[in-house]
Structure 1
Amino acid sequence: MLVTHRVWRRSALGLVALTVLGGTGYAWAQLSKLDTGITVADVIAPSAKIPEGVSPSSVDQNILLVGIDSRNDAQGNPLPQALLDQLHAGSSEDGGDTTDSIIVVHLPAGGGAATAISIPRDSYVPLAGGLGSHKINSAFSRGKNAAKNQLRAQGLSGAELEKQSDAAGARTAVETVQQVTGLTINHYAAVNLAGFYSLSNAIGGVSVCLNNPVNDKYSGANFPAGEQTISGAEALAFVRQRHGLPSDLDRIKRQQAFLSGMAKKILSAGTLSDPTKLSDLISAVQGSLVIDKGWDIFSFAQQLRGLSAGSITFTTVPVQSLSMATGDGDAVKVDLGQIRAFVKQVTGQAVNGNASTGTGTDSSGGVGRIKNTAQTTSNTEQPVTSNATGCVN
């Protein structure tokens, strides 16, 4: 069954910020500053990169966006404990470097509407690099840990060890997503907890609406029902809350509501024409993102210059069950054939791989077991565009 509610999370905030920065002449003049200050990592295979001399706008592009549950900054340095406390993020030892959000953004050749395809973080799939079948959000951390011992043996330590092992984890995540979707990933962008905090603060908060009041001690989400403006730690709590919601898909709706509101805020509230607000936004983007080496962000922003808030469609890959028992605990059951057919349908792009691959197996070699055979809600609604609003759970 198809579900169309999962949407961008932390890393998407950075991409939307880049997208809307091209909206005014003044903002456009400031974009050249983005070429400095963004951390880069060599994570995209040469065969997947757009050849030199080829205009990016002339070919289909697929960008992998991930939000990493990391307690380090983009340069590999530990985040201050005071900030982690404010974000209800535990200690520097928590998190495990899993990717809490995994989104592929498809940009069609010649321009046109972008499509953001989310993959549920607990989808049980074969991981790249011979790491077995596990939840897809562990691809980054398992790839990172596999490389870390080798890097230590080479004498690396501290921030440099974190940066290079992060790059190895990113490569595993990219290869895994390529295997699952059948798409070739051309670019990669990641943001951590602190990045989301900074970006949401830079735009002065986002208006959201809740159907019911919430008070969750785990995420720090404590909000009344109705419309309200949130930023910083509150914004992070809003999109991170898991406990007390009917299902994880409701958290996905939260993420969608926030990002839709953010795009509207930047486009309509004078952010791009206000020198101070724009400077804050650019600084937040610079300090928050890790992107693939060689990605010309200035040229990318030029390509997106005409993209409006309503021309981004958010959708999710089909899922078969939200509760499949595996050696890694409850997971989301997906079928790779269904995913690839869906991806081809929404992007119009040919995909690689055998569409009859089926589900992954657990690490012991057995097929994951369905603990709750009820399938997810059928796809009776249209995909959501970024100008859609409304109250969420």
Structure 2
Amino acid sequence: MPQQLSSARPGRSPRRRPGRLLVAALAALIFVVTGFGWHSIDGLISGIERIGDLGLGGGSDGATDILMVGIDSRTDAHGNPLSSAERAMLHAGDEVGTNTDTIILIRIPNNGRSATAISIPRDSYVDIPGIGKGKINSAYGSTKELARQKLAAKGVSDAEADKQSTQAGREALIKTVAELTGITVDHYAEVGLLGFVLLTDAVGGVQVCLNNAVDEPMSGADFPAGVQRLNGAQALSFVRQRHELPRGDLDRIVRQQVYMASLVHQALSAQILANPTKLDALSKAVGRTIVLDDKWNVIDFMKQLQDLTGGQVRFETIPVADLNGTTDDGESVVRVDTSAVRTYVASLVGRSGSGGVTPAQVTADVYNASDTSGLAGQVAQALTGKGFRTGTVDNWAGAPVSTSRVLAAKTTDAKAAAVAKALGGLPVLAVPGMAEGAVRVVLAGDYSGPGSAAGELFDTSGSSTTATPVPPAAPIDAGQNGPKCVN
């Protein structure tokens, strides 16, 4: 059992905190770019497995875009099989399939002063090159297996077939993520199951907090409620559990984010950076578990990120059109709308928005002043599908209104204008006394935009009254006082 540190704290309010961008981490990458210091970088680089010919971009769009994946693999970064004891510790078994349990796209502008890490649910139902429709976590493994079979039929040796098919799997995942998000991947980072364990143990474990006790044998997660410190094997169970969680894979993503935030906080502590033994353990862990593309100049990347702590680092999740989707064959999937995802990702990286405002920066309250039951909730879902955040969703308690409108402190408010445009061009009205940047949507009987019965005929955001769309989760703070309590 993990070391319990205190009783459970009440769950945090879901209220957004605009203006306070919360710091999170790039998990394994922080050990590459921050956790070692200049004195040991040469030894670190020499131990990392490098791969080439992945068809990567060159940062020509003004930013470095990194695809970081966590691989459900039974080998280390160099292709060496894990021992029986290691597989048992990881609850890995003997199967040889390769799935990507964690998929995160990280965008860092060339000035190095901000970063956005975008999580993609592993069950997202997407187009996979050469495969067709499938869960995004199968893009790597399915492509690898098809390539391996073709190579074996040609008489290629097992070792060479594994090498070439693994390369094909990585390329397929890179192309799949690029097609879904509209972002060209410039660099690739991969960490296996063993990496979670070794990296966590190397920093002395990580603190997490659970709202409720869990006991889920499929992942090995068996933890009490409250704040506790997890060792490496326990941390892996913590980030892998998705069964018996209220939101399934989305709660699992939140766990990954709080784990990474805690890992960063622990790794960057003075106790770690000043401890040669732990630094050596970190270096060995990185060398055995991390794969990077061979075009990545780590030292230049370190220099680029020197000012990152003073800038903005966000950890986001793509919008989901239907959390409880199914295929024609009855397979459970997470449905995503590519156009909505691309719009959302573009907003996060500053490509769109009204007056410099992106949807992810806007929180809108939505009120129903019509006779249509549930209209506010449906419109709120449509907004989250377009990348906006929503606050209060309720019936309108003010004076009766006959026309729909967006309320703000000023008619020129950029955030209100962005919401008004997204809902079909609603008028923006000024309300004296409203806080600067606050946005309220009031829906009257005339509303026919996204989220309404009429709007469903024309809206392609992926939201519907029968689907279960999920708004992007609040970012996680690696610098907060203690871990955030989660499901």
Q: What is the TM-score of this pair, normalised by structure 2?
A: 0.68
Q: How does 1:1-393 map to 2 (within 5 A)?
A: 12-21=26-35, 27-45=37-55, 48-49=57-58, 59-91=62-94, 93=95, 96-128=97-129, 130-153=130-153, 155-248=155-248, 249-308=250-309, 311-326=312-327, 327=329, 329-349=331-351, 373-379=466-472, 382-388=474-480, 389-393=483-487
Report if aligned partners of 2:116, 2:349 keep a CA contact under 8 Å in 1: yes
Q: Which amino acid aligns with 2:58?
A: K
Is the contact between residue 19 and residue 307 of structure 1 (CA under 8 Å) also seen in structure 2? no
- C-alpha spacing 1:81/1:123, structure 2 compared with 1 (3 Å): same
CA contact (8 A) 2:325 2:467 kept: no
Q: 1:254 to 1:377 in 2, by over 3 A?
A: same
Q: Are the aligned partners of 2:463 and 2:469 in contact in 1 as well (CA < 8 Å)?
A: no
CA distance in 1: counterparts of 2:74 and 2:464, whole angstroms: 33
Relative to structure 1, the CA distance from residue 204 to residue 344 in structure 2 (aligned partners, 3 Å threshold; closer, same or farther) is same
**Contact 1:325–1:371 (8 Å) recurs in 2:** no
The one-letter code matched in structure 2 to 1:335 is D
Q: 1:35: Cα distance to partner?
A: 2.1
Partner SS for 2:91: coil
For residues 274 and 229 of structure 1, what CA distance do their matches in structure 2 show? 20
Q: CA deviation at 1:158?
A: 4.3
Partner of 1:362: none
Q: Deviations over 1:80-112 (max 9, x none)?
A: 122111121222x15x21111111000012121
User: How many angstroms apart in 2 are the aligned matches of 1:376 and 1:144?
Assistant: 32
SS of residue paired to 2:30: helix
Helix, strand or coil: the match of 2:34?
helix
Q: Distance in 2 between matches of 1:227 and 1:309?
A: 28
In structure 1, distance between residues paired with 2:141 and 2:276: 39
Q: Which secondary structure state, in structure 2, belongs to the residue aligned with residue 18 of structure 1?
A: helix
- 1:301 CA displacement: 2.0
Residue of structure 1 equivalent to 2:439:
none
Identical aligned pairs, as a percentage?
43
CA–CA distance in structure 1, aligned partners of residues 81 and 269 of structure 2:
36
Q: Within 1, Cα distance between the matches of 2:99 and 2:321? A: 23
Q: Which runs of 5+ in 2 are unaligned?
A: 1-15, 17-23, 353-384, 386-461
SS of the residue 1:271 aligns to: helix
Q: Is contact 1:180-1:336 (8 Å) kept?
A: yes
1:113 and 1:79 mapped to 2: Cα distance?
A: 37
Please tell me whether the aligned partners of residues 112 and 306 of structure 2 are also in contact (alpha carbons under 8 angstroms): no
State how far apart, in whole Å, the 2-side matches of 1:154 and 1:294 are: 31
Residue deviations 1:333-362, cap 9 Å, x none? Answer: 111111111111001248xxxxxxx9xxxx
Counterpart of 1:29, as a letter, is: H
C-alpha distance 50-371 of structure 1, shift in aligned 2 (>3 A): closer
* Partner amino acid, structure 1, of 2:345: V
Pair 198,382 (structure 1): closer, same or farther in 2 beyond 3 Å? closer
Shift of 1:310: 8.1
User: CA–CA distance in 2 between the matches of 1:50 and 1:260?
Assistant: 26
Ranges in structure 1 where 5+ consecutive residues have no aligned partner: 52-57, 351-357, 359-368
Shift of 1:383: 3.4
Mean Cα deviation higher: 203-212 or 29-38: 29-38
Q: CA deviation at 1:197?
A: 1.2
How far the C-alpha of 1:235 sits from its partner, in A, is 0.7
Tell me whether 175-184 or 243-252 shows the greater mean CA deviation: 243-252
Equivalent position amino acid for 2:479 in 1: N
C-alpha separation between the residues in 1 aligned to 2:310 and 2:211?
24
Secondary structure at the residue paired with 1:148?
A: helix
Distance in 1, matches of 2:155 and 2:87, equals 29
* Whole-Å separation in 1 of the counterparts to 2:43 and 2:318: 36
Distance change in 2, residues 1:372/1:85 (3 Å): farther
Deviation digits for residues 310-353 of structure 1 (CA, Å, limit 9, x no counterpart) = 84210011101111111471111111111111111001248xxx
Residues 15-73 of structure 1: CA deviation (Å, up to 9, x unaligned)? 12223226xxxx22211222212112224316x1358xxxxxx9311000111111122
Q: Contact 1:321–1:332 at 8 Å: present in 2 too?
A: yes
Measured after TM superposition, the shift of residue 160 of structure 1 is 4.1
| Structure 1 counterpart of 2:201, one-letter code | N
Shift of residue 213, structure 1, vs aligned partner: 1.3
Distance 1:50 1:344, change over 3 A: closer
| Richer in helix (by share) | 1
Q: What TM-score results when the alignment is normalised by the length of structure 1? A: 0.83
Higher normalized contact order (CA 8 Å, seq sep 6+, divided by chain length): 1
CA contact (8 A) 2:109 2:115 kept: yes
Q: Secondary structure at the match of 1:117?
A: strand
Q: Is the 8 A contact 1:43 1:168 kept in 2?
A: no
Q: State the match for 2:458 in structure 1.
A: none
